[in-house]
Amino acid sequence: MSDHKAVPEFLNKQAEETKNGGLSRRDFLRMAAVFGLSVSMAGNLIGLSTEEARAAADFDWDALAKESPFEIKNLLIDLAKKDCGPGCNFINAGRGNPNFLNTTARKALGLFTIFAAEAAEMGSKYPDIGYRRSKKGLAAELNDYLKHYEGVPGAAFLKEAMNYAERNLDMKPDEVVYELVDAIQGDFYPDPPRILPVTEKIATHYLNKIVFSGTPPKGTFSLFATEGATGAMIYLFNSLRENFVLKPGDKVAIITPIFSPYLELPVLKDYDLAPVLLEYDRDKPWKTGGKELNAIADKSVKALYMVNPTNPTSMSMDAQTVQNIAETVRKNNPNMVVISDTVYASFVEEFNTLCSVIPQNCLGVYSYSKYFGVTGWRLGVVMIYEDCVVDKIIAGLSKSEQKALAERYKIASTTPDKLTFRERLEMDSRQVALAHTGGLSCPQQTAMCFFSLFELLDPKYVYKSHIRAILKERWDALFAGLDMKAPDGKDLTRYYALLDVLDLAGRYYGQEFADGLPKNHHYLEFTFDLARRQHVVCLPGAGFAGPKWSSRVALANIGTQDCTDIAAAMKAVLKYYYDEWKKA
């Protein structure tokens, strides 16, 4: 078989079907192999070079399309690092954690840890051994300690932080210092397990500033400290299932594009929910009578999942859409449960949240990870309003369901029927049987307090303006490299960029070429070619329920020059596709 004349007519027909998008290139190459064709010859039949054919034969695109983008990321990293020798610029723009972090709060935390250890040693006659301290006089001891550290980095902030806490928390100075000292020692379980009193008070002040822009709704949110937003998500999903609030087969609305686990968790066998995807675009408010609000109005849709500000599209929802969603829920679907993930609220100048307008329906999620660069610390909270709709739903369950729940929680409570969802959530996080050991570790909660206090002591948002400036510089560099005007606005986080690859193809080489790309390539190939040809890792936007032909660039974890280089890499891959297209 040395030329096309020797190829069976059947394969020639299949080759035409493949070129027209009717058959995947991988499937064709497999079929051709059965007939004895080499990869090179089979690739030639469908317009691929030997190298391209080998690459296409290596990957099952349809199978990969079903994987989480965060799993695909590992394969992309391997491809990008392969053959990346001296002078090669490997760029990983697939990671969401930032490469910037807050140093001042860390320095203060270090000093405070030493103070707590030395305070424990007072009165001990044994080396290396200390004892838990009493409250009396502890605040004065800390003041004396800090006098010896004047001018040491972190000391001034630590003093200001303690002064702020003592003035604003309605707690006596010794009580504030004692709770934080006891917590940083980490020698006991969190008590109460849900959150330490000092942590809840400080974190509430912080969230009122960050999430509610200084004007929280009337009423009270209780907090549950969790291992980052990840812990918050898992605990909420599990507890809503255990309490029959969400049942197998229930419909859940998901605002897309979105952080992929919100797409992947609901369909797991553990939950078996039926997602209803609702797309949100910037500057396109959802209008009354539109399909999105009609879906939310449907009482068979039991929950709404949203990340706001968005990941990966990096924007805060517009005020009109937020108000329209709230009004729809109030009038048509008052028992709808909203999980509102507000992790990126810290990065925008203008933030609109459902937690402000329908707090009773919202289970808020917040993580300190991104803003302070503490992904590895795992610092997050769940916010639950005092008049939580979940409590009403549980109260209305059937007698058999109520009986089952009483049986579940009786080992942790003598009045299981009176437990609030807030209490159930904490118990469920430790499968009830270990509820007494629940809660985020005490040292982690101390860190949460220090990072919160840092922001509270920054009324002019100096730190925030610097973080936004870092991201804007990277954002502008990326779009300048793509020969595009960078989007602007107070609603943007600029933490990620979701780029439309077909739009870029049309800009550079015309609409006919852009229209032909989906016929000649699987949408994942662009992401893979960025990795194996340009040593650049970006994640496929399709994995976030974004456009299939889109690519997510995480700007927080790369430098400004990297952004310019990523733009050049995208151009290079598209030029390669264009040159091959012209030859065909």
CB 372 within 8 A of CB 102: yes
Give Cα 61 to chain centroid, integer Å. Answer: 25
Q: What is the DSSP string of 315-368?
A: BPPPHHHHHHHHHHHHHH-TT-EEEEE-TTGGG-SS---HHHH-GGGEEEEEES
Tokens linked to 350: 């203008």
CB 310 within 8 A of CB 258: yes
Q: Say if domain 197-440 classifies as CATH 3.40.50.300.
A: no
CB 296 within 8 A of CB 325: yes
Residue 31: what pLDDT? 79
- The pLDDT-based confidence of 2 (bands split at 50, 70, 90) is very low
Determine the Cα–Cα distance for residues 30 and 57; give it in Å rounded to an integer. Answer: 7
CB 301 within 8 A of CB 253: yes
pLDDT mean over 319-340: 98
Taking the CA atoms of residue 274, residue 279, residue 280 and residue 283 in that order, the dihedral angle to the nearest 10 degrees is -160
pLDDT over 90 at 34, yes or no: no
Q: Could you tell me where the beta strands, DSSP code E, fall in 79-212?
A: 91-92
Strand pairing category for 251-256 and 274-279: parallel
What digits encode the pLDDT tens for the residues 188-215? 999 999 999 999 999 999 999 999 999 9
What digits encode the pLDDT tens for the residues 332-344? 999 999 999 999 9
What digits encode the pLDDT tens for the residues 456-479? 999 999 999 999 999 999 999 999
CB 21 within 8 A of CB 519: yes
Alpha carbon separation from 252 to 271, 274, 293, 441, 564 (Å, rounded): 11, 6, 13, 32, 39
- The pLDDT-based confidence of 3 (bands split at 50, 70, 90) is very low
Q: Which of 310, 368, 320 is nearest to 340 (CA)?
A: 310
What digits encode the pLDDT tens for the residues 533-577? 999 999 999 999 999 999 999 999 999 999 999 999 999 999 999
Q: What percent of the chain clears pLDDT 70, i.e. is strictly above it?
A: 98
Tokens linked to 401: 């369901």
The set of residues, in sequence order, having a beta carbon less than 8 Å from that of 125 and lying 6+ positions away, is none
Determine the Cα–Cα distance for residues 105 and 89; give it in Å rounded to an integer. Answer: 33
pLDDT over 80 at 22, yes or no: no
Residue 87: what pLDDT? 83
Q: Could you tell me where the beta strands, DSSP code E, fall in 155-300?
A: 221-227, 251-256, 274-279
Q: Could you tell me where the beta strands, DSSP code E, fall in 188-300?
A: 221-227, 251-256, 274-279
pLDDT over 60 at 4, yes or no: no
Fold of the CATH domain 61-96+461-583: Aspartate Aminotransferase, domain 1 (3.90.1150)
Beta bridge partners of 92: 537
CB 286 within 8 A of CB 292: yes
In the 8-state DSSP scheme, what is residue 492? B
Tokens linked to 7: 């190829």
Helix (H) or strand (E) holding 399: helix 399-409
Please state which CATH class domain 104-188 belongs to: mainly alpha
Residue 541 backbone dihedrals phi, psi, to 5 degrees: -65, -25
